[in-house]
Amino acid sequence: MPETRNLIILGSGPAGLTAGLYAARADLKPLILGGSKPYGQLMLTTDVENYPGFPEGVQGPELMDKFSKQAVKFGAEIILEDVMEVNFKKSPFTVKTASNSYLSKAVIVATGADTNWLGLESEQRLIGRGVSSCAPCDAYFFRDKKVIVVGGGDSAMEEALTLSKFATKVTVIHRREEFRASKIMLDRAKNNSKINFLTNTVVEEVLGKDKVEGVNLKNVVTGKIEKFGCDGVFVAIGHSPNTIIFENQLDLDEKRYLKVKGHTLTNIEGVFAAGDVHDHHYRQAITAAAFGCMAAMDSEKWLESR
């Protein structure tokens, strides 16, 4: 039988690594199962200028490297394995990867959420080079430039409005005639002189070798494809929380994010949540890290009470 650990943390983005840091400093000797694609969405980000402590900015991968080294320095163990199965129905909890099985008294779920991308090779190649999914993170880099926002919901309108504070022109690209966005958000975007709309249109290809130089747009009614010049592409068609393996064990909301109470508590005592896996409102590295701190402190108190 494997040893029963005090705490296992699922995920190695800002939430998971911050939880690991706090738990390690509390002498819980946490195990972080970081996944085969570790350290979260910041690994796809180039310049990060809104994380405190870095007045000159920092590269996303460099920031996550610092996170992981700090957690390990104080005693966290990081294993880069994908979690395949969990059993939270009895204590100690069981967490299985492809090659190992682990037992733990407490678990923090910090598996995050992934951006829903368009699925284009050109898009993936230019992520961080003009392709983004976060206007609050990257709008500043597009001052006096032309950008497009792909999507038709409230998130797309929010992205467009944020970008309009910096860009000279924002064009919302939507594949349908009608929008899913609420009337108030759609009206705000339509009343903004910098924001234009192209409906019944999809992005066929993102153009550019080392940076975005434009896109090929296809009208889904006529089939006509035209080149459209822009400096940035913001994809706002939603996020998918990484919660599939927790179905039928942890409570999920209608968007399949984890439900929490008291900041980090799930419906199962001893299982905590941190970061984008439950927070679909802010989705920032600093808020994810804050939730990681809270989850670690909550788990420490819960373990002490037992």
CATH code for the domain of 172: 3.50.50.60
Catalytic member of 134, 276, 279, 298: 134
Ranges of beta strands (E only) in the chain are 4-10, 31-33, 47-48, 58-59, 77-79, 83-87, 93-97, 101-109, 113-115, 131-132, 146-150, 169-173, 195-198, 201-207, 214-219, 225-228, 232-235, 239-241, 271-273
The answer to whether 137 is a known catalytic residue is yes
Q: Tell me how far apart the alpha carbons of residues 62 and 110 are, in angstroms, rounded to a whole number.
A: 20
pLDDT over 80 at 1, yes or no: no
Residue range 199-218, pLDDT digits in tens: 999 999 999 999 999 999 99
Q: Is the pLDDT of residue 79 over 80?
A: yes
Asked which of 214, 235, 256 is the last residue of a domain, the reply is 235
Helix (H, G, I), strand (E, B) or coil at 256: coil
pLDDT tens-place string over residues 42-78: 987 778 889 999 999 999 999 999 999 999 999 999 9
State the Cα–Cα distance between residues 231 and 216, nearest whole angstrom.
Answer: 13
Query: What total of structural domains would you count in the chain?
Result: 2
State which residues form the domain around 182. Answer: 117-235
Q: What digits encode the pLDDT tens for the residues 95-110?
A: 999 999 999 999 999 9
Residue with tokens 């419906």: 267
Whether 77 and 91 share a structural domain: yes
DSSP result, 67-84? HHHHHHHTT-EEE---EE
Angle between helices 154-163 and 183-190 (to 10 degrees): 30
- Is 138 known to be catalytic? yes
Spot the catalytic one: 27, 137, 210, 251: 137
Confidence of residue 11 (pLDDT cuts 50, 70, 90): very high
Q: Which of 210, 235, 260 delimits the end of a domain?
A: 235
Annotated active-site residue in 138, 231, 276, 298: 138
